[in-house]
Amino acid sequence: MLVTLKSVLGIAEAENIAIGAFNLTTLEGIRAVIEAAEELKQPVILQFANAAHKEYVSLENIAPAMLALGDKASVPVCVHLDHGADFEEVKRALDLGFTSVMYDGSALPYEINAANTRTVVDLASQYSASVEAEIGSMGAEISEDGGEADESCYTDPVIAAKFVAETGIDALACSFGTVHGIYKSAPKLDIDRIARIRKVTGVPVVMHGGSGISDEDFRKCIENGVRKINFYTYAAKYAGEYVKKKLEESSGYVFYHDVAVWGLESMKKTYIDTIKIFANLK
């Protein structure tokens, strides 16, 4: 069933858990997320990051599959635009039927980010959709020999509280030590910052760059107010490694549909393991 981000985060708040938000680039990825969520009977967020993944599939091509499979699911499913870059992109997602959008104006001056976010909130309300926005800046996507998060970009709780009050958003993406992509070394998370932001803003905190975080750190973040965790890179990495292994083990013909099935198998396992951690399941 399709629901809003506000709705699934309400469940997360009541149960003191986090909802997995999984970025998608293929039909197999969508199926893997929903099958994992249904098996565990947990709500889930299907995301598309147009800025990062449009070279693989367009928003218009993947949206119908996300919405159709999400609507058929036996668990609550939010369909969410990740890192919406501008009003045009946000409106495209809302017109397609997304139940939630993120507007990312974190690289802009505060006043412009706040004004633009308020406009997005007004627009989304016409579609009964939720809005996530960002203050602070996550480290850029990195490679295996890349860098680490810059503490100077961490979210200031005082500014975060002002931003939430001025914009009326439903969830706040914060910077507290995570980065997008693959970590060069174990991240150093400012857990106390999460707790302070959650307390002063009164809205659920969103963790971007969830891949590569330890189970223990995930649990600490959730205990202190993280209610949505974005996760993609390591699921894609593990699936690629699994496909490579299966190809090396195979003799004779390998068809593309074999590769698709292997990818689905690996991603579903990763998503089951990940949702269990986020939902504190055994």
Angle (deg, nearest 10), helices 215-223 and 191-201: 30
Beta carbons of 230 and 18 less than 8 angstroms apart? no
**Both structure tokens of 188:** 């150093």
| pLDDT at res. 144 | 38
Beta carbons of 189 and 151 less than 8 angstroms apart? no
Other C-beta atoms within 10 Å of 182: how many? 17
Q: Rounded distance, CA 107 to CA 125, Å?
A: 24
Report, as an integer, the average pLDDT of 41-62: 96
Mean pLDDT of the chain: 91
Count of positions (residues) in the chain? 282
pLDDT at 183 over 90: no
Beta carbons of 278 and 36 less than 8 angstroms apart? no
Could you give phi then psi for residue 194, rounded to 5 degrees? -60, -50
Tens-digit pLDDT profile for residues 98-127: 999 999 999 999 999 999 999 999 999 999
Q: Which of 270, 265, 186, 260 is nearest to 234 (CA)?
A: 270
Beta carbons of 121 and 149 less than 8 angstroms apart? no
Other C-beta atoms within 10 Å of 245: how many? 12
| pLDDT at res. 149 | 47
Strand pairing of 77-84 and 44-48?
Answer: parallel
pLDDT at 212 over 80: no
Beta carbons of 16 and 223 less than 8 angstroms apart? yes
Could you give phi then psi for residue 147, rounded to 5 degrees? -105, -165
Other C-beta atoms within 10 Å of 191: how many? 16
Please identify which of the residues 82, 104, 170, 217 carries the catalytic annotation.
Answer: 82
Q: Rounded distance, CA 160 to CA 5, Å?
A: 19
Q: Which domains does the chain have, with CATH numbers?
A: 5-278 (3.20.20.70)
Q: Which of 63, 37, 18 is nearest to 208 (CA)?
A: 18
| pLDDT at res. 282 | 82
**Both structure tokens of 162:** 């002002």
82 carries an active-site annotation: yes
Beta carbons of 278 and 19 less than 8 angstroms apart? yes
Q: Give percent of the chain above pLDDT 70.
A: 90
Q: Which residues of 90-108 are buried (b: 16+ CB within 10 A; e: fewer)?
A: bbbbbebbbbbbbbbbbee
| pLDDT at res. 182 | 54
Tens-digit pLDDT profile for residues 52-75: 999 999 999 999 999 999 999 999
Considering only residues 279 and 252, tell me which one the structure prediction assigns the higher pLDDT.
279
